[in-house]
Structure 1
Amino acid sequence: MNQQPVLSALLGTIGLTAITFPSAYAANMDKTKPNVIILYYDDMGYGDMGANGATGATIPKDSKFLDASVPTLTPHLDKFSSGSLRFTNGHSSDGVCSPSRYSLVTGHYSWRTRLKKGVGGGYTPTFMDEDRFSVGELFRSHGYETAMVGKWHIGMSFFDAEGKPANDKKGVIDFAQPVKNTPAHRGFDYWFGTPASLDMPPYAWLESDAESGEVHVLYKGAIVDGDEVDFSQARPATNADLVHYEQNSDFFARSGIKDPTFVFQDYLQIQAQKVANLIEGYNAADKPFMIYVPMPAPHDPHAVQEKFKGSAGFTYGDYLVQTDYYTGKILDALGDADDPDSTAANTVVFISSDNGPEVGASHRSLVAGHDANGPFKGIKRDNWEGGTRVPFLIRWPGIVEPGTTDHPCWQGDFVATMADVLNYELKADEAPDAESFLPVLVGKPMPKQRRAGFIEHSHRGQFAIIDYTGEWKLLDGTGGGGNAETLDAENQVIENFGEICGAPRQLYNLKKDPGERVNLLLDPTPEILRKEQELYTLLNKIRGDDKLGSEGSSNVPRIPTKLFN
């Protein structure tokens, strides 16, 4: 496959490449057009990141990747955090994967689309409209090279031998046919990655071709040999190249089509190497770049490479260590953020996760003494805080002062923030639910005219609203809206699917009760009932008075912050 144009001329992705980095010089030193990297985890909980609170797990004294005297499983993330602004009240838009990813990329709530609840699979058609504004389109329209490396999970289109849509898993897909409605069709000049989660087939790398514009499933997309990754053997796959993978007891991954050379355990290494190659190529071409890097980890399967086994003392912990390690390798490719001549010095790095930790991972972590959802109630799928309050970090050397902020926001706000950086005035239908937090990044107060609140959504379609102050939260239902069994703030198991739109609703004061322990509507005062009605009215204005959500309006005032004149 031909690489994205800059790479094909300048970059050695042909042959063996290892993740070793010379000093990353910054060809693009235009502060008005900083490079941008979005690192996006899959199922990493608020408490998984050491910077948000020490782990209680006992780290093996012989760990090759951790210091047993330092209580963290994420040393690279922690180091990054020390040089970034850490948001303690940053949220994903949903308690599960597909909707959060869509909302991050578009600044548009996914429940405004046909995806009202749940997630897609590896073969699911896209729910993203062809003309939907995206973060890729934002940067590409401003002269950036845009790329995505990793997991999409917003759906795409596969075809049969006659070129007819065949998104079904019944043996009629012709994997030699170009795939459509991919990231390469939604604002990214180049895509190398996989359709969905690492436990969902097809298990093969896909790549966009610079000359034809087509996206193909690859055979031998990337081969790892020790510290080296070989991309040179890749070619478009035929059905004869692929095999059937049968779910086994090594780890959980669904049965399905697989490139026989695709190794689950090597995904993160391959991803890190591809990103490092892209950065090197963009630097050589003196191009501003935006790279979206959605990792498939630490979601199932916990595909731990041999060298990381035992590093944390429990499998999920080992996978966190591996995820953190390759995060470090990607950050290393930018160079030293303290070096004004490095790529890092002119790069905005945004790091977050699509939702809280998985059920099984949470339970196994607690046995080892590790609290994956941190001080919060709920886990993945819920729209209690543990389901949507996630790691949320931004580094921009020389512009953003390192520290912490409790500014309440959600991930789609990043699109609006970067539009502000680029002095681009968003149109009414572009990132309509997103509010720029650029003032927060540069130490200024937010404007008085504000979005009144934002939505947290659950796996089963339950709505919750947080007001703009971050103090009040109303859930339109009696439970967490996600899991039949979940964890409270003390990590005690609670069995409560709850009734969506059921009564009594739940009202929490998050400033006083971030663990959502006391539902103020169980013994309400007149003042509390007025607050419930105020938030419920606002919720319905945003979601459109529909149980599962419609267009509605977040009514976001567009008051740009002029960072560069």
Structure 2
Amino acid sequence: MKVSKSYVFSWLLLTLVSLTACKDNRPPNVVIIFTDDQGYNDLSCYGATEFETPHIDRLAENGMRFTNFHVSTAVCSASRAALLTGCYNERLNVRGAYMPWDTLIGLNPDEVTIADMLKEHGYATGMVGKWHLGHNKVFLPLQQGFDKYYGIPYSNDMWPVDYDGISVHEKDTVAKHWKLKYPPLPILEGNEKVAEIHNLDDQAQITTLYTHKAVEFIQRHQAEPFFLYLAHSMPHVPLAVSDKFKGKSEQGLYGDVMMEIDWSVGQVMKALKDAGVDDNTLVVFTSDNGPWMCFGNHAGSAYPLREGKGSMWEGGHRVPCVMQWPAQIKGRQVNDKLASTIDLLPTIAAITGARLPENKIDGVDISKLLKGKDVTPRDEFWAYYGGELHAVRKGDWKLYFPHEYRSYRQHPPGKDGFPGWTKQMPCGLELYNLQDDIEEAYNVIDLHPDVVEELEAIAKQARYELGDRLQKMEGHEVRPLGRIEEN
């Protein structure tokens, strides 16, 4: 049968239109870039002056920069559990930072992570970097919704190497050195160990290794919807940087490390652009908690916020966050509405059409906020640390309850990789207006008894659901931690 040229042309045109429509209807890709111990002030677009972060600044220029964005709590494992599940970490029974010898606990695999949710929705899911939610095989990323994983199972300082970068096995004090209990720091691919990190030279390559794996994942999955979770080990101490950025910043090694993380973001963005998917990809850049300030020049800055990692003052849990999604988020927006990492899961569900978990979550959908709507999806925040309710937030008001917290103000900081001291300090019943007093310097509790009463009612509900060790209260809605019964 003879086929006319006009028929062939029409068929090709219809095919092209069909393919274009299919591409246009594809749900957005999602990339979350999560740094470790980066302070609120540690990007150029947030005020850093002694180093530059042009690639991250470009995300803010092309999208939205948040000034009131928070993690669930100011410590590694708990913060990561909250990010991935959309729940306060207390609801999951995940607290603190897991150690290498914590082999029997981790994030319960029955919890639904962002990766679980999107994988069920047809997404390719990959993780690169620091996991820190249990390193027994049953808790690793491949058992928590991820198709691919490459990285380290916990923090990069959990290794048998002293603050000076020398292995404790090479020291005269080896018989009694406290770091002897640490095993070698492993690199995992999938569920298996493929290498070890032995020294600072090895640490200096880790940001580059993570970046190459992240770019490779994008290249392999550019033809399908994908979710990439890139969790950098830096700028957590011990700091180390490749020769590409060594000595490049005015600040010193910390600034060099931040510049290399910025380069990594640039490589990821280039991979998205080269794949032709940058317009329809939501990119989120944020940190797991505030800076570990006792490390001095090897720590970041939370300016103008109070305190840092390990406390629920604003410097501990308010973190930088920028989001870019050219198809939906207009550029050059600065947003001061209250938002949190726990809001990412329901927001991603809303923009992708994925099904929300059946279990209760604490996050709220902020997709309308991203699209420029003048709405207030979140008005409350419960500030827990280590099973204790330290504060509650409503609007601009934050009420603290009596507790002890880690303070960096009482001792001089350390230097060049060695820590200074911290001190446990008491906090009373204190009220702050964060709109007027972001530094939390003026306790106005005697001036606003009505606000105190309203926030105490919120605390009552928080304690009923999640408990409070300080009040010796068990939570009625706390779900079980992942546990392996010891044989």
**TM-score in terms of structure 1 length:** 0.69
Q: Is residue 229 of structure 2 the alignment partner of residue 299 of structure 1? A: no
Match of 2:268 among 316, 330, 349: 330
Q: How is 1:35-184 mapped onto 2 (pairs within 5 angstroms)?
A: 35-55=29-49, 57=50, 72-116=51-95, 118-125=96-103, 126-157=105-136, 179-184=137-142
More helix by share: 2
Q: Is residue 318 of structure 2 the alignment partner of residue 389 of structure 1? A: yes
**Residues 75, 484 of structure 1: CA spacing in aligned structure 2 closer, same or farther, 3 A cutoff?**
closer
**Residues 452, 81 of structure 1: CA spacing in aligned structure 2 closer, same or farther, 3 A cutoff?**
closer
Specify the alignment match of 2:4 in structure 1: none
Match of 2:259 among 318, 321, 327: 321
Q: Distance in 1 between matches of 2:423 and 2:101?
A: 31
Specify the alignment match of 1:359 in structure 2: 293
Q: Which sections of structure 1, spanning at least 5 residues, go unmatched?
A: 1-25, 58-71, 158-178, 209-214, 220-241, 252-261, 488-492, 555-565
**Residues 457, 150 of structure 1: CA spacing in aligned structure 2 closer, same or farther, 3 A cutoff?**
same
**Residues 484, 442 of structure 1: CA spacing in aligned structure 2 closer, same or farther, 3 A cutoff?**
closer
Whether the aligned pair in 2 keeps the contact of 1:485 and 1:497 (CA below 8 Å) is no
Specify the alignment match of 2:193 in structure 1: 217
Q: Distance in 1 between matches of 2:407 and 2:157?
A: 20
Specify the alignment match of 2:351 in structure 1: 421
**Residues 100, 383 of structure 1: CA spacing in aligned structure 2 closer, same or farther, 3 A cutoff?**
same
- How big is the shift at 1:455? 2.0
Whether the aligned pair in 2 keeps the contact of 1:113 and 1:127 (CA below 8 Å) is no
Whether the aligned pair in 1 keeps the contact of 2:64 and 2:370 (CA below 8 Å) is yes
Q: Distance in 2 between matches of 1:184 and 1:27?
A: 33
Whether the aligned pair in 2 keeps the contact of 1:458 and 1:482 (CA below 8 Å) is no
Q: Distance in 2 between matches of 1:111 and 1:511?
A: 27
Specify the alignment match of 1:540 in structure 2: 463
Specify the alignment match of 1:311 in structure 2: 248
Q: Distance in 2 between matches of 1:461 and 1:474?
A: 14
SS of structure 2 residue aligned to 1:102: helix
Match of 2:449 among 526, 530, 535: 526
Q: Which sections of structure 2, spanning at least 5 residues, go unmatched?
A: 1-19, 160-183, 412-419, 479-487
SS of structure 1 residue aligned to 2:186: coil
Whether the aligned pair in 2 keeps the contact of 1:50 and 1:73 (CA below 8 Å) is yes
Match of 1:189 among 138, 147, 155: 147
Whether the aligned pair in 1 keeps the contact of 2:26 and 2:225 (CA below 8 Å) is no
Whether the aligned pair in 2 keeps the contact of 1:101 and 1:354 (CA below 8 Å) is yes
SS of structure 2 residue aligned to 1:331: helix
- How big is the shift at 1:446? 3.5
Specify the alignment match of 1:444 in structure 2: 373
Match of 2:187 among 205, 209, 216: 205
What letter matches 1:512 in structure 2?
Answer: D
Whether the aligned pair in 2 keeps the contact of 1:507 and 1:532 (CA below 8 Å) is no
**Residues 550, 342 of structure 1: CA spacing in aligned structure 2 closer, same or farther, 3 A cutoff?**
farther
Q: Distance in 2 between matches of 1:91 and 1:35?
A: 23
- How big is the shift at 1:538? 4.2
Q: How many residue pairs align between the two structures?
A: 424
Specify the alignment match of 2:166 in structure 1: none
Q: Distance in 2 between matches of 1:486 and 1:382?
A: 14
- How big is the shift at 1:200? 1.7
Q: Is residue 334 of structure 2 the alignment partner of residue 404 of structure 1? A: yes
What letter matches 2:397 in structure 1?
Answer: W
Q: Is residue 280 of structure 2 the alignment partner of residue 346 of structure 1? A: yes
**Residues 495, 296 of structure 1: CA spacing in aligned structure 2 closer, same or farther, 3 A cutoff?**
closer
What letter matches 2:460 in structure 1?
Answer: T
Q: How is 1:466-545 mapped onto 2 (pairs within 5 angstroms)?
A: 466-467=393-394, 469=395, 471-478=396-403, 481-483=405-407, 485=409, 497-499=424-426, 504-521=428-445, 523-544=446-467
Structure 1 residues 303-334: Cα deviation after superposition (integer angstroms, max 9, x where no partner):
12233221113121111112222222122211
**Residues 383, 549 of structure 1: CA spacing in aligned structure 2 closer, same or farther, 3 A cutoff?**
farther
Q: Distance in 2 between matches of 1:388 and 1:486?
A: 20
**Residues 35, 280 of structure 1: CA spacing in aligned structure 2 closer, same or farther, 3 A cutoff?**
same
Whether the aligned pair in 2 keeps the contact of 1:41 and 1:297 (CA below 8 Å) is yes
**Residues 281, 544 of structure 1: CA spacing in aligned structure 2 closer, same or farther, 3 A cutoff?**
same
Whether the aligned pair in 1 keeps the contact of 2:290 and 2:308 (CA below 8 Å) is yes
SS of structure 1 residue aligned to 2:234: strand
What letter matches 2:438 in structure 1?
Answer: P
- How big is the shift at 1:302? 0.6
Q: Distance in 1 between matches of 2:351 and 2:63?
A: 17
Specify the alignment match of 2:308 in structure 1: 379
- How big is the shift at 1:121? 1.9
Q: Distance in 2 between matches of 1:91 and 1:108?
A: 13
What letter matches 1:197 in structure 2?
Answer: S
- How big is the shift at 1:110? 1.8
Structure 1 residues 415-469: Cα deviation after superposition (integer angstroms, max 9, x where no partner):
0101111334524415x1111111101122437xx665122333684532222x3
Whether the aligned pair in 2 keeps the contact of 1:543 and 1:552 (CA below 8 Å) is yes
Identity %: 30
Q: Distance in 2 between matches of 1:295 and 1:325?
A: 12
Q: Distance in 2 between matches of 1:411 and 1:356?
A: 14
SS of structure 1 residue aligned to 2:211: helix
What letter matches 1:153 in structure 2?
Answer: H
Whether the aligned pair in 2 keeps the contact of 1:96 and 1:459 (CA below 8 Å) is no
What letter matches 1:410 in structure 2?
Answer: S
Whether the aligned pair in 2 keeps the contact of 1:316 and 1:365 (CA below 8 Å) is yes
What letter matches 1:51 in structure 2?
Answer: C
**Residues 421, 274 of structure 1: CA spacing in aligned structure 2 closer, same or farther, 3 A cutoff?**
same
Specify the alignment match of 2:165 in structure 1: none
Deviates more, 1:266-275 or 1:314-323: 314-323
